[in-house]
C-alpha cells in the first residue's frame, strides 16, 4: 500500500508542475481515463472469471517525436473466482486485485477515415509493475485457514486500438508471471497542457 501511495504522490506532483514547461517547441500533455472488462487467459483463467478495471493515464509528446507518445498509467483491476474453480476445490471465495503501474510508448498511424470523424489506428507497448493481492477463503468443511497473499510482479503489455481524438477504444494483452489477461478499454482523453 505504501508503494501505491508513493506512486500517487509522484503522479500528482508531475501533474502539478506540467504547466511550467519551456515554450521553445510544440508539445502536449494529455490525461486519459479508461474503463472496461478484463478476460483472464492461460493458467489465470483456470481460477478466475471475467473481471473489470479502470486506469488513469498521462501521456506526452512534442513535435520532434510525433506521432509517438510516451505515457505513464496507474490502475485498479478486480477478478472474482471462476464458478468451476469453486466446484472442484476447497475454496468458498477467491479473488485477485491488481494495482498496475505502466510506462510505455504509443504510435498513432495516419487516419484511415477523415469524412465525419477521424479514425486513427494506434499500437502501444509498455513494461508494467503490479502489486497483487489474492484473497483465499475456504469452505468451512475444509478446515483450512483463510488468508490473503500479497506479491509484486514485473511484466509487459501491448495493444492495438482506434482513436477518435477525444475517445479511444483499446484492446490490450497483459502478461505477468502468475496473471495474464486481455482487456478492452474505452478511454476519454483530455488535454492538460498544449503549447504551439
Give the per-residue pLDDT at 100. Answer: 96
Q: What is the mean pLDDT of the chain?
A: 87
Helix, strand, coil percent values for the chain (each to nearest 5):
15, 60, 20
Residue 9 confidence (pLDDT) above 50: no
**Residue 15 belongs to a domain:** no
**Residue 84 belongs to a domain:** yes
**Residue 146 belongs to a domain:** yes
Residue 157 confidence (pLDDT) above 80: yes
**Residue 122 belongs to a domain:** yes
Question: Is the pTM higher than 0.75?
Answer: yes
DSSP line for 33-97? EEEEEEEE-GGGGGTB--EEEEEEEEEEEETTTTTEEEEEEEEEEEEEBPHHHHHTSSEEEEEEE
**Residue 11 belongs to a domain:** no
Cell of 167: 475517445
**Residue 195 belongs to a domain:** no
86-128 pLDDT, tens per residue? 888 889 889 999 999 999 999 999 998 777 788 999 999 999 9
* Total number of domains constituting the chain: 1
Helix (H) or strand (E) holding 13: helix 2-16
Neighbour tally for 155: CB within 10 Å: 18
Report, in angstroms and rounded to the nearest whole number, the Rg of the chain calculated over CA atoms.
Answer: 19
Query: Can you give the residue range of the structural domain that contains 108?
Result: 29-164
How do beta strands 180-195 and 167-175 pair? Answer: antiparallel
Closest CA to 128 of 183, 189, 80, 68: 183
- Residue of 12 and 116 predicted with greater confidence: 116
Closest CA to 155 of 187, 126, 114, 188: 126
Amino acid at each position: 500500500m505504501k508503494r501505491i501511495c508513493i506512486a500517487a504522490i509522484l503522479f500528482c506532483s508531475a501533474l502539478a508542475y506540467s504547466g511550467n514547461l519551456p515554450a521553445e517547441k510544440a508539445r502536449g500533455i494529455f490525461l486519459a481515463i479508461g474503463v472496461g472488462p478484463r478476460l483472464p487467459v492461460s493458467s489465470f483463467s483456470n481460477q478466475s472469471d471475467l473481471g473489470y478495471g479502470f486506469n488513469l493515464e498521462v501521456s506526452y509528446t512534442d513535435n520532434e517525436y510525433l506521432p509517438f507518445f510516451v505515457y505513464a498509467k496507474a490502475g485498479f483491476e478486480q477478478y472474482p473466482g471462476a464458478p468451476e474453480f469453486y466446484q472442484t476445490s476447497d475454496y468458498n471465495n477467491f479473488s485477485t486485485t491488481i494495482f498496475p503501474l505502466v510506462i510505455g510508448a504509443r504510435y498513432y498511424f495516419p487516419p484511415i477515415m477523415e469524412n465525419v470523424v477521424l479514425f486513427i489506428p494506434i499500437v502501444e507497448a509498455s513494461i508494467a509493475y503490479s502489486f497483487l493481492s489474492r484473497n483465499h477463503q475456504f469452505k468451512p468443511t475444509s478446515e483450512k485457514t483463510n488468508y490473503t497473499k500479497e506479491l509484486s510482479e514485473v511484466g509487459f503489455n501491448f495493444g492495438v486500438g482506434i482513436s477518435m481524438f477525444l475517445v479511444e477504444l483499446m484492446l490490450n494483452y497483459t502478461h505477468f508471471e502468475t496473471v495474464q489477461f486481455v482487456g478492452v478499454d474505452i478511454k476519454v482523453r483530455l488535454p492538460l497542457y498544449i503549447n504551439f
